[in-house]
Structure 1
């Protein structure tokens, strides 16, 4: 990870691990739900799943790039929190590819919408297996959804 001139390597590695884990939650677990009136229904970790110890990789190798200082920043440092957060999008994209492979095995359309976060429910429905095909989506104009996706 390019952090510029690391002032505290142990702290920076912890920031990379934490940022990645936070991003893993953002891209795979933490689904915001709104009522049709626009009220946020999932207001905290008691209402949606956040990453736990079982969700992080068992082996998580982090190394810091040496010799890449930022001469325009304080102590030649660089951003440490945001880059690893977005690096977790790699997990979302890997899940999307796995879903595409499952769809291909069943002869389904290779073009499909797959929004983040990649929750277990969204993965199951996108794969279109036998159980998912037994469910129905009510699209009648008279139905009122209990939540909306933004």
Structure 2
């Protein structure tokens, strides 16, 4: 928006020359402006819209615009090992009017992959004194090619406009990250189905990230129930590492 402001300043400076020679080219207008000692350098400035919100009265406008997205993921879970793979992900994102759909879809896919790692892979481990062990990709798992959905479809919501930004664009990076949780909820749904087949019902523990170890224990298969710490009614996901 600051660039737009600077461009409009230059546009107004060149207006008398354009009116005098309406059929001229851009080069001829710039050449004439130089001969007339008209500055072709401008500084643009933009300050975002003033926002406020009264939380007591629930009145105001906390954001200049909203962006929306919806995502559905399908997973296949091995109940004996807790291993899983994402079969399919379909996503629709509202990003306003895309200037470059290829770039925007790449951003969306990247943010989704970050969320996939956050909710299913990147487990934090601490020392007895509280030092974080998993401080980098060499010490914890991050998404790889094999973790991507086998079928990944991204669609941009059409006819979406944003009057507060250039070309009605919207931010897309951070909102899409949360949609990676669709894989986590798909895993949890698969675990619930496995528990139902074993005659178990009711709530159960499955915290993020949903690693294969946690999914395996949550399934409460006959194999895992042989472990004392995983007997029904005494499940403590932090009590056992397998």
* TM-score, length-scaled by structure 2: 0.54
Structure 1 residue 98 and structure 2 residue 190: aligned? Answer: yes
Secondary structure of the residue aligned to 1:63 is strand
Secondary structure of the residue aligned to 1:118 is coil
Give the alignment's Cα RMSD to 1 decimal: 1.9
Q: Which residue, out of 116, 124, 131, partners 2:208?
A: 116
- Residue 51 of structure 1 corresponds to which residue in structure 2? 143
Query: Which protein has the bigger strand share?
Result: 2
Q: After superposition, what is the alpha-carbon deviation per residue over 1:36-94, rounded to whole angstroms, capped at 9, x for unaligned?
A: 32211111111111111111012211121122121123442112112221111111111
CA contact (8 A) 1:30 1:49 kept: yes
- Residue 22 of structure 1 corresponds to which residue in structure 2? 114
TM-aligned CA distance change 1:36 to 1:108, over 3 Å? farther
CA contact (8 A) 1:99 1:123 kept: yes
- Residue 62 of structure 1 corresponds to which residue in structure 2? 154
CA contact (8 A) 1:104 1:110 kept: no
Structure 2 Cα separation of the partners of residues 130 and 109 of structure 1 = 16
Aligned length: 140
Higher relative contact order (CA 8 A, sep 6+): 1
Structure 1 residue 37 and structure 2 residue 94: aligned? Answer: no
- 5+ unaligned residues in a row in structure 1: which ranges? 139-144
- Residue 5 of structure 1 corresponds to which residue in structure 2? 97
* TM-score, length-scaled by structure 1: 0.85
Secondary structure of the residue aligned to 2:229 is coil
